[in-house]
Amino acid sequence: MAPPLSILAVILHVVSATAVKALVFDVPSGSSKCLTEELHRRAVSHASYRVVAESTSAADRRILVRVTGPRGEELYVAEGGERGEFRFEAAEDGEHTACFWSPRYERGTVVSVDVQWATTSVGGGAHAGGSGSPPAVAVASEGRIATIIGELKKLEDSARLIHQEMLSFRQSELEMQRLNEDTATRLHSFTLLSLAMCVGVAALQLWHLKTFFQKQHIL
């Protein structure tokens, strides 16, 4: 018995609402590349990825993977693997991003990644990326790297200024300490001199009184 036309229509609609995309790209060692997919709410995405060993020049083929939603919320994280998969349902409309990062820098090497990304729209509409084009690849551009380097240089300059100020404060502290020591030494010398003068004046007074009493034949 042939299935009703309505059932066939539903099956064809579900099949047409599912888009499977394959993409192979190179991730330079020490940097990252990201895939972005515009999804509607409740669209289901399932992706698998693996490092293509035969086209990889890096010694360390392990990659870090992080998937985020439109608001930056973390949907999936994997560290230090050569393959894996993730699945999520879009909670809202917007761009969902999967970033692949080769953490170990090796000059002139790349890590090739093969990604199979399937997206199924739920409830009638094809997903926003339904034109058949693969997810956009966002390279960690030189401008972004230059911005990070600029920020690091600013931090380095700030640290250098703080270090110089600390050295200046240390020098001021040493000069103040020397001034205090000199002041204490002078005060001690003046105290001894005053004491010696007082003793000398007292001795002179005693000698004068003794001489006076001797002249008066009192002693």
CA distances from 69 to 55, 90, 109 (A): 30, 8, 30
Cβ-contact 59, 106 below 8 angstroms? yes
What is the pLDDT at residue 35?
A: 86
What is the average pLDDT across 59-87?
Answer: 87
Q: Which helix (H) or strand (E) holds 130?
A: none
Other Cβ atoms less than 10 A from the Cβ of 134: the count is 15
Residues 32-59: tens digit of each pLDDT:
888 888 888 888 989 999 888 776 777 7
Phi and psi at residue 24, in whole multiples of 5°?
-120, 125
Residues 139-194: tens digit of each pLDDT:
444 556 767 777 788 888 888 889 888 988 888 888 899 899 889 888 988 899 99
CA distance 116 to 216: 129
pLDDT for residue 94 is more than 70: yes
Token pair listed for 199: 């003793």
Other Cβ atoms less than 10 A from the Cβ of 166: the count is 10
What is the pLDDT at residue 58?
A: 73
Confidence of residue 128 (pLDDT cuts 50, 70, 90): very low
Tell me which CATH code domain 23-121 carries: 2.60.120.680
Q: What are the extents of the domains in the chain?
A: 23-121, 159-218
- Beta strand 32-39 pairing with 136-139: antiparallel
- Confirm whether pTM is higher than 0.85: no
The residues near 29 (Cβ < 8 Å, ≥ 6 apart) are 58, 60, 102, 104, 105, 106, 107, 109, 110, 111
Region of 140 (left: φ > 0; alpha: ψ -120 to 50; beta: rest) is beta
